[in-house]
Amino acid sequence: MGMSAIRSRPGSAGPKIRTGADPLSRAVRVRRLALAVILIGAALYFLAPLWWLFVAASRSLGNQSGTGWWFSGFHLFANLKALVDEQNGVFLHWVANSLLYSGVGAAGATLLSAMAGYALAKYRFRFREALFTAILAAVLVPKMLLATPLYLLFSAVHLTGNRLAFFLPSLVSPFGVYLCRIFAAGAVPDEIIEAARMDGAGELAIFFRIAVRMMTPALVTVFLFNVVDIWNNYLLPTLVLKDSQWPVTVGLGNWFSTKGAVELSNYVIIGAFASLIPLAAVFVFFQRYWRTDLTAGAVK
């Protein structure tokens, strides 16, 4: 009975079934051609830079910045090895930092969002609406704008150069709370919570055993949002972290802007390519659970 509530959500309708085949009139052919041109042109726009990066990262070491859209020899693996060896493995160190920040930070942010969203949806307490309004307002505050105040705050309490200075802000996701509240309100029926209470289940047990399971699609989406957000963050870690704590974006950015080091510019390209692999892997793994319709339904 709970599932019907999920299915009837406006955002979760399945793919439409195309009925009947259009007769191949002239108009239809023109229309098909137009669609094909748009799709192929757009796909080229999206993929060409990534293809170029792949080709450039595969050229023999030292020739990365040359132009050209096709391979001349395939040296990707040798290049990756050289990249890993460069400056005593600093690149892998950055990647490990990024994985740590993104993995732990996104998991924590998702858990906090789930609890807060569930509480906002299912419990009545004073200031609930005021709190929700505050969270909504926080969604509209650009994160990048907070970087400067955060830096000032952390330097006041001597937390700059501490990984916490990047972790703590990463745990807060107003948009995640917002999505979780909307989803919890629709997907976790009050009757089930009541029934579990009758059976003597504690509130924590109800949350972790029942609510979390029903909210899973929303939680995966919130998790992925946060993984990308944290992985891509650049300004805040630049400000608050020491170089041994840098994530891969800051490390590469530093290599990139170190001008005069011709050798480095080759490693920037190889590193840029390598840095995309972990996030792409995460998305290939989670793609089927990724629910953009949650975002689309968020304003209803």
Partner 1 sequence: MPFLVLFLGMYLAPICVAVYKSLFVMHSQGLGLSGGPSTVFKPLANYTRALGDSAFIGAILRVLLFGVVQVPVMLGLATLFALVIDAVSARVRAAFRFAAFLPYVVPGVVAAMIWSLLYSPNPNASSPFFSNGLTLWSVANVVTWTWTGYNMLIIYSALTAIPSEIIEAARVDGASGWRIAWHVKLPMVRSSLILTTVFSIIGTAQLYNEPSILQAVSGGAISSTYTPVMAANNAIHVPDFQYAAALSVILALVVGALSLGFFKLVNRRGPAWG
Give least dist CB 122 to partner 1, A: 9
Binding of residue 23 to partner 1 (CB under 8 A)? no
| Contacts (CB under 8 A) with partner 1, residues 136-165 | 138, 140-153, 155-156
| Contacts (CB under 8 A) with partner 1, residues 40-69 | 42-43, 45-47, 49-50, 52-53, 56, 65-67
Give least dist CB 4 to partner 1, A: 17
Give least dist CB 160 to partner 1, A: 11
| Contacts (CB under 8 A) with partner 1, residues 279-298 | 279-280, 283, 291-293, 295-298
- 85 and 77 in contact (C-beta within 8 Å)? no
Give least dist CB 121 to partner 1, A: 11
Binding of residue 78 to partner 1 (CB under 8 A)? no
Binding of residue 209 to partner 1 (CB under 8 A)? no
Binding mask 164-193 for partner 1 (x = CB under 8 A): ----x---x-x--x----------------
- 1 and 289 in contact (C-beta within 8 Å)? no
- Of 71-79, 99-107, 182-190, 265-273, the segment contacting partner 1 by CB under 8 A is 265-273
Give least dist CB 116 to partner 1, A: 4
| Smaller CB separation from partner 1, 56 or 75 | 56
